[in-house]
Amino acid sequence: MRVAVVPGPGLSGLLYSLGDVGIPGPGVADRPAEPVLVPDLAAAIRDRERSGDVRWVWPSTAEVYPALLRAGVRVERCHDAALTEGLLQGRAGTGGEPSFLAAAAARLRGLPVPARPAPGQSGPQPSLFDVSAQERPSADELMATLSDLIAVHDAQLAGIAADEHPGRFGLLAGAESAGSLAAAEMTAAGLPWRPDVHDRLLTEMLGPRPPAAQRAPAGATPPRPARLAELADQIAAAFSTGLPVNPDSPAQLVRALAAEGVQVTSTRFAVLREIDHPAIPLLLEYKELSRLHAAFGWSWLDTWASGGRFRPEYIVGGVVSGRWASRGGGALQIPKVLRRAAVADPGWVLVVADAAQLEPRVLAALAGDRAFAEAAASGDLYTALASAFGGDRALAKVALLSAMYGGSGGDAGQLLAVLRRRFPQASAYVESAAQAGEAGRTVRSVLGRTCPPPSAAWRSATIDPGDPDGERDPGAGRATRARGRFTRNFVVQASAADWALVLVASLRRRLAAICPAAARPELVFFQHDEVIVHCPAELADEVAAAAAQAAAEAGRLLFGATRVSFPMTTAVVNCYADAK
């Protein structure tokens, strides 16, 4: 049963039964003629969730579900209209269009697409759905939103059914919505985080926290931590010219190096590493520590670590390939050195599971290359492929990554030739995707996520002039090859993202079944091909088994019967840093 949900004023909301599919039709006795305005939406959803199988249809999980979680309500399934709209717009080649409910409804009715309204400011006593009294919708507005939701939901189901592979695309839409539930739950649960450990690690690397860093006046530049100040002095002293050198100023660094006969155009890591000068090792250390301080220093600790948890906001499908992103906190880029601060609660552990060599295995399953699939059925894929490269595992890895990512320089060309002879179907699969991109076409993941079409600028640069005497844009070849590398990579990376999304949906369901009580295992982190579950120590084996079962299920759902295995490397640890 599908039930549409529209949050209303205060704790209230509208509920409307849609039946098993689409808009309710006439003559069905058990479907209400009118929506039900419930005084406590969270309580109504909790009761309905307990009473039977239901899929909630709402404008956006990110906008509705966090409030339910704060009220102690979890749901099993939903249909996220905004995320589904994004998938369908991508399939139609208009992936850059807004996907929020009002925009989707306007497109459906041929009306101008409105701008997304700015988030409202909450009053001193926010309601369940955190809107001020001035912003609370009227009864007519609630009914209009419900009408939009019903119409958009019906059109989305029709769009999925009309897809070339409706089963696959429907699985993608369902997994994307399930992922949105997992994302909100991870934010609510939070990754266990020890501020005292984080502070100690920063102090060991940077020196004591500068007092001004605690309450720097607006617009003021806080003083450098002791180690950065020391390195800055050493860097300046390493130059014989006596010129002032601020290590945070690329222009000053370029001038100081030029004065000593070293010509550089930038101060990026890759450029500096090639320079022989006594200031360079100091500068590299400074840049690395400065980056850590800026991104994950004491300011990060004050902002993002509270109540013993790190709670970032995950953005489902935030990257065109379907990979997730995060808003604030750098959740998907936690430095290894700071993973020491991710420590399980007493009596609990972290079960860290990641898919081994996921993208090469996905390519093997996509291509249906028998020889490649047999190699991918083993434990270490690169070792299994090494026989094609004289037993050299490193060469096998370079060749395979070059095939997926379009590398051809140096020895990559020769290694690719070996790969093409040994595994022709796998090579042909990514080559076909590259050719499609070079021709300006789009490609899709295994479940149907579609890459963005080429931009107008790309088409303008690569178009054939028509006139035999006309000249093509000199950058056309470069743009064409870049587009080919993008689509070559997309079919593999986006399909790997499909697999990971289905993995998360399956694991979430399995964790709920392990222990529905208060001490249930919690999915607290997800990054591309890695998940972390925080659970009571006695449940660690069950959680590890659930991760392996979810991986196997994801492989079956995406690729059917295949010899390719998708093993999960699992570690049960007290501290995240000990997992690898």
Residue 235 lies in a domain: yes
Candidate ranges 38-47, 121-130, 236-245, 416-425; pick with highest mean pLDDT: 38-47
Residue 172 lies in a domain: no
Among residues 465, 495, 525, the one where a domain terminates is 495
pLDDT, position 220 = 56
What's 518's domain CATH number?
3.30.70.370
Is residue 146 located within the same domain as residue 18?
A: yes
pLDDT, position 217 = 55
Annotate 90-119 with DSSP letters as a single string: HHTT-TTS--SHHHHHHHHTTPPPPPPPPP
Q: Is 404 exposed, middle or buried (0-12, 13-18, 19+ CB in 10 A)?
A: buried
How many Cα atoms sit within 13 Å of 350 on the Cβ side? 28
pLDDT digits (tens, 9 = 90+) for 289-345: 999 999 999 999 999 999 999 999 999 999 999 999 998 788 888 999 999 999 999
pLDDT, position 212 = 58
pLDDT reading at 155 higher than 90: yes
Is residue 445 located within the same domain as residue 488?
A: yes
pLDDT, position 115 = 84
Q: What is the mean pLDDT of residues 151-178?
A: 96
pLDDT reading at 133 higher than 70: no
pLDDT, position 309 = 95
Bridge-based pairing of strands 305-306 and 309-310 is: antiparallel
pLDDT digits (tens, 9 = 90+) for 502-512: 999 999 999 99
H or E stretch covering 7? strand 2-7
Residue 182 lies in a domain: no
| Number of separate domains in the chain | 4
pLDDT, position 274 = 86
What is the 3-state composition of the chain as percent helix, strand, coil, each rounded to the nearest 5? 50, 10, 35
pLDDT, position 73 = 95
Give the phi and the psi of residue 526 in degrees, each rounded to 5: -145, 130
Is residue 340 located within the same domain as residue 445?
A: no
Its domain, for residue 454, covers 361-495
pLDDT digits (tens, 9 = 90+) for 180-228: 999 999 999 999 999 999 999 999 999 999 885 455 555 556 788 999 9
Instruction: Provide the pLDDT confidence category of residue 425 given band limits of 50, 70 and 90.
Output: confident
Give the phi and the psi of residue 79 in degrees, each rounded to 5: -120, 110
Is residue 205 located within the same domain as residue 107?
A: no
Is residue 32 located within the same domain as residue 156?
A: yes
Is residue 417 located within the same domain as residue 503?
A: no
Residue 176 lies in a domain: no
pLDDT digits (tens, 9 = 90+) for 28-66: 445 556 889 999 999 999 999 988 889 999 999 999 999
- Name the residue with higher pLDDT: 516 or 434: 434
pLDDT reading at 275 higher than 70: yes
What's 435's domain CATH number?
1.10.150.20
Q: What is the mean pLDDT of residues 510-525?
A: 86
Among residues 454, 479, 495, the one where a domain terminates is 495
Is residue 539 located within the same domain as residue 411?
A: no
pLDDT digits (tens, 9 = 90+) for 81-116: 999 999 999 999 887 789 999 999 999 999 999 887
Question: What is the chain's mean pLDDT, rounded?
Answer: 86
pLDDT, position 411 = 61
Tokens (6 digits) for 221: 């530049």
**Residue 29: what residue type?**
A
Is residue 386 located within the same domain as residue 247?
A: no
Residue 126 lies in a domain: no
Tokens (6 digits) for 340: 């020491």
Q: In Å, how far are 156, 271, 560 from 152, measured between CA atoms?
A: 6, 51, 31
Is residue 148 located within the same domain as residue 254?
A: no
Q: Could you tell me which residues come within 8 angstroms of residue 143 by beta carbon, excluding any fewer than 6 positions away?
A: 14, 35
Residue 185 lies in a domain: no
pLDDT reading at 532 higher than 50: yes
Is residue 487 located within the same domain as residue 377?
A: yes
pLDDT, position 515 = 74
Among residues 477, 495, 513, the one where a domain terminates is 495
Is residue 18 located within the same domain as residue 137?
A: yes
pLDDT, position 34 = 81
Residue 251 lies in a domain: yes
Residue 318 lies in a domain: yes
Share of the chain above pLDDT 90, in %: 58
pLDDT digits (tens, 9 = 90+) for 395-415: 878 777 777 777 665 566 666
Share of the chain above pLDDT 70, in %: 88
Q: What is the mean pLDDT of residues 62-87?
A: 96
pLDDT reading at 487 higher than 80: yes
Is residue 339 located within the same domain as residue 292?
A: no
